[in-house]
Amino acid sequence: MSVPPDLPPPYGGPQPPFQIPPQPQPETKKSKKWPWIAGAVVALLVVAGILGGRDKDDAKTTSAAPSSSALQATTSAVTSRASVAPIVSSPTAAPAPPSSKVAEPTTTTYQASAPVVTPTVAPAPARPQVSSGQRNAVRSAQQYIDMTAFSRSGLIEQLEYEGFSTEDATYAVDNLNADWNKQAALSAEQYLEMTSFSRSGLIEQLEYEGFTSAQAEYGANAVY
């Protein structure tokens, strides 16, 4: 089958190669920078004018009135000059000469304490043991004294007559603690009740009974 020549490919004849159509180029606009530059210059001038005015005002104020710090410095300088007095150094004291005296050594005396003396107590003497013969002799001697008057020697003789030993009889009489002056007076009274006696005869009779001369005189004087 024949293809008509006027049909597009692939049915028609060869076609020219494909070409990319050219893109339209954007128009470049020239930027206008001079308005920004002019504005910045104006702003700088305004700021400089403001700062300059303030500096002038500060300079006028500073020149018109003295600063308080300067006044304070001047006042303090005047005050310090007026208050500072000349310092007069006191004379230095001369050192004391060394003492020629030598310190005497101190001596400490210690007093020894007195020794404690403990009093020694002598032990009590042991009581001699009393025998049965001595106890009986004491009992018999007390009975004789209660009945009649006796001298010391007369009572010992009476106990010996009863059979006691001289040692037991003497022990018994000495342990009676009898008042022999009183016994002499009782014996003198008994003699006068039985018979009459002169004073001297009564004294001799009492001495015969075993009383001492002093005891016999005491008994005779007691009844005369």
Per-residue pLDDT tens over the stretch 156-182: 999 999 999 999 999 999 999 999 999
Q: Answer whether residue 143 is part of any domain.
A: yes
Q: Read off the pLDDT of residues 84-123 as tens digits, 9 standing for 90 and up.
A: 445 555 556 556 665 555 566 666 665 666 677 677 777 7
CB-CB contact of 138 with 176 (8 Å) = yes
Does residue 91 lie in a domain region?
A: no
Q: Do 198 and 164 belong together in one domain?
A: no
Q: Are residues 208 and 219 in the same domain?
A: yes
Domain annotation covers residue 171: yes
pLDDT of residue 70 exceeding 50: no
The Cα–Cα gap between 48 and 54 comes to 10
Q: Is residue 146 part of a domain?
A: yes
Domain assignment present for 126: no
Report the pLDDT value the prediction gives residue 40, as an integer from 0 to 100. 72
Average pLDDT, the chain: 74
Domain CATH number, residue 188: 1.10.10
pLDDT of 58 above 50: yes
- Which is more confidently placed, 204 or 82? 204
What's the confidence (pLDDT) of residue 100? Answer: 58
Does residue 120 belong to any structural domain of this protein? no
From 172, 170, 161, select the one nearest 135 (Cα to Cα).
Answer: 172
Q: Check residue 116 and give its pLDDT.
A: 72
Q: Provide, rounded to the nearest whole percent, the portion of the chain with pLDDT above 70.
A: 50
pLDDT band with cut points at 50, 70 and 90 for residue 185: very high
Residues 156 and 192 grouped into a single domain: no
pLDDT computed for residue 43 by the predictor:
74
Q: Looking at the structure, tell me whether residues 198 and 211 fall in a common domain.
A: yes
Q: Is residue 40 part of a domain?
A: no
Say whether both 158 and 185 belong to one domain.
no
Kindly report the pTM of this predicted structure.
0.44
Asked if residue 221 and residue 197 are part of one domain, the reply reads: yes
Burial of 171 (0-12, 13-18, 19+ CB in 10 A): buried
Residues 159 and 136 in one domain: yes
Domain that holds residue 137: 131-178
Domain count, the chain: 2
Look at 81 and 218; give whichever has higher pLDDT.
218
What percent of the chain has pLDDT above 90? Answer: 41
CA 198 to CA 205: how far, in whole Å?
10
Which band of pLDDT confidence, cut at 50, 70 and 90, is reported for residue 204?
very high
- Indicate whether 190 and 222 sit together in one domain: yes
